[in-house]
Structure 1
Amino acid sequence: MRTPVYLLLLGLMLGTVAIVVRSGIFMRKNPGEPINAAMRIALAGVAYQWTAADLTLLARDYAGAYDSPGGARYLIRKPGTGELTPKVGQIVTIHYEGRFLSNGLKFDASADNGGPYNFAVGRNQTLSGWDEAILTMKKGERRTVVLPYWLAYGEKGLRNKVPGRISVVFDLELVDFR
């Protein structure tokens, strides 16, 4: 006899909670400031922008570079072959060398890490600027890609290797994709 009563009470409680939650009775009128900087920027509608120093270096060293929709800039150093480009999810093999835009200092290279680098393009397995650039490259193509911090290592950087909010330059070569 007790079990049906407990089940009825539990059902009434759950039903009441569901109605209250769906109605929004206890919803705050002003939820306040978002907790992280990225969300505050997104809600404010503030667009990311290159720094003045970066723009000066881009004009001097990368005049004629193409602009990508996400904000990267690139120069095609050697055209690729064929008409095909990688599709999202395909495994790509690349050679790369990364340098800081501000001083040209090399901080990483595939040659220093045992050879070409493989990853599934467009699956957030690497820098978003790489995904954007590689999806438009042809096999064998070499590009110099200048990535602003928001397409590279972001606000925080990379553990003792890349400081936060710094623009980087990558020489990329698309070796193969499958």
Structure 2
Amino acid sequence: MSRLTRALPSTAALALVLLAGACSKDNQSPNSATRPATAYSLSASDEKLIAEKFPGAQKSPSGLMWIVRRPGTGTATPTYGSVAIVDYDLRLLDGTLIDSSVKDGSPLTIPVGVGRVIKGWDEALMMMKRGEKMTIIVPHWLAYGIAGSPPKIPPYATLVFDIELRDFH
């Protein structure tokens, strides 16, 4: 009897096991409630929390979400290289306060659009008018990515900022 003939029954049995597993009634799918985050998508639990906490949030093509809390004045917005003066509170999606210029009493002065802050901030600041207050919801790919910024910001963290553009020039 050849090797091929002897291996045939065990190969057929393996094929049946694999086929049975593929046809199981397990309804878990990539869209299930436990779907994890990937490099450019939110976890199902983050999507649910955002929908509950921030109904009506607008969303940009990049995935940045925001709610205008107080409109700004005028029509001018910061552009690449503008220097912005900003007050902010940073929270994790669960509400944990991570950092606050408001609490510290010292606004942040930063150049806009040149990579000195996370991408979500650059994008948001270039939409804001002087004096405007926004809540921005920043997905991990526009923040600290899959690595996070330990110990305070975990991997895949969606961040929530309450920001006020005090001034820019």
TM-score in terms of structure 1 length: 0.71
Mapped partners of 1:99, 1:153: distance in 2:
13
Residue 138 of structure 1 is matched in structure 2 by 129
Residue 41 of structure 2 is matched in structure 1 by 49
Which one of the candidate residues 114, 117, 137 is aligned to 1:126?
A: 117
C-alpha distance after superposition, 1:33-70 (max 9, x if no partner): xxxxxxxxxxxxx9711110111111111111000121
1:147 and 2:138 matched: yes
Can you give the 5+ residue segments of structure 1 that lack an aligned partner in the other structure? Answer: 1-45
Moved more, 73-82 or 146-155: 146-155
Mapped partners of 2:40, 2:134: distance in 1:
23
1:129 aligned counterpart, secondary structure: helix
Mapped partners of 1:114, 1:154: distance in 2:
28
Within a 5 Å distance, the mapping from 1:1-178 to structure 2 comes to 48-101=40-93, 103-178=94-169
2:77 aligned counterpart, secondary structure: coil
C-alpha distance after superposition, 1:2-35 (max 9, x if no partner): xxxxxxxxxxxxxxxxxxxxxxxxxxxxxxxxxx
Report the alpha carbon displacement of residue 113 of structure 1 after superposing the two structures with TM.
Answer: 4.2
Moved more, 115-124 or 150-159: 150-159
1:130 aligned counterpart, secondary structure: helix
Residue 14 of structure 1 is matched in structure 2 by none
Q: Is the 8 A contact 2:39 2:146 kept in 1?
A: no
1:176 aligned counterpart, secondary structure: strand
2:75 aligned counterpart, secondary structure: coil
Mapped partners of 1:111, 1:60: distance in 2:
26
- Letter paired with 2:133: R
Aligned residue pairs, count: 132
Report the alpha carbon displacement of residue 153 of structure 1 after superposing the two structures with TM.
Answer: 1.2
2:51 aligned counterpart, secondary structure: helix
1:59 aligned counterpart, secondary structure: helix
Report the alpha carbon displacement of residue 111 of structure 1 after superposing the two structures with TM.
Answer: 2.8
Report the alpha carbon displacement of residue 90 of structure 1 after superposing the two structures with TM.
Answer: 0.6
User: Structure 1 vs Structure 2: percent identity of aligned residues?
Assistant: 42
Change (3 A) 1:159 1:113: farther
Can you give the 5+ residue segments of structure 2 that lack an aligned partner in the other structure? Answer: 1-37
Mapped partners of 1:169, 1:97: distance in 2:
8
Q: Structure 1 residue runs of 4+, over 4 Å off?
A: none
2:110 aligned counterpart, secondary structure: strand
